Amino acid sequence: MRDRRAGGLAKRLELCRSFVQELVDRDKNHPSVIAWSLANEPHSRRPGAKEFFKNLYTAAKARDPSRPVTLVSYLGEEEKSFEFCDLVCLNRYAGWYTESGRVEEGCARLSRELDDLHAAFRKPIILTEFGADTIAGCHAIEPEMFSEEYQARLLERTIQVLRTKPFVVGERVWNLCDFKTSQKVKRFGGMNLKGVFTRDRKPKMAAYVLQRLWKNRG
């Protein structure tokens, strides 16, 4: 049984190596590509995960030594692959899935975690996902979850926290536009509503907040 599992793992590794190599070969001359990511929120707690991704990291570096290589994790300090990755990429929904409805508490927790991550790995950090589901046209005098005001405040306060961290080199709001997804208890109408634009590309309040923040980045 153990030999069979080992053989299966070797086949999966070889398949993933070929995917990485094909990805780099296809997009290495694209001017918008700044880094290579090996995975998004992988099951990194499983035995052998670190060695598995180290192998893929080596394959990507061999194909393109000019760009950084990383993976995107939700584990934080538990992500062992950050030990060899060039960038620390973290998905966090502070103020939404955690500290729900409490933007300031979520941002305070995020701030502490970013400091701890930098102390642990001493590498540049990108916050690769953050945001809040928002129903277009839903408003609240005091920002509350699912209102346009809440999304706008959460994104602005999160970005303000990031601006205080010189080791944070990038941010990626999730998401540009609302999109269809599977039916779930948290997915009204089978939609992910974290877009700063609606599915038909009409701006929510948050789009203008991001425009102001990013226009005044310097």
Q: Which residues are catalytic?
A: 41, 129
Whether 154 contacts 132, CB under 8 Å: yes
Whether 41 contacts 72, CB under 8 Å: yes
Q: At what angle do helices 148-163 and 205-215 cross, to 10 degrees?
A: 20
Size of the chain, expressed as the number of residues it contains: 218
User: If 0-12 CB within 10 Å is exposed, 13-18 middle and 19+ buried, where does residue 16 land?
Assistant: middle
Terminal CA-CA length for the chain:
58
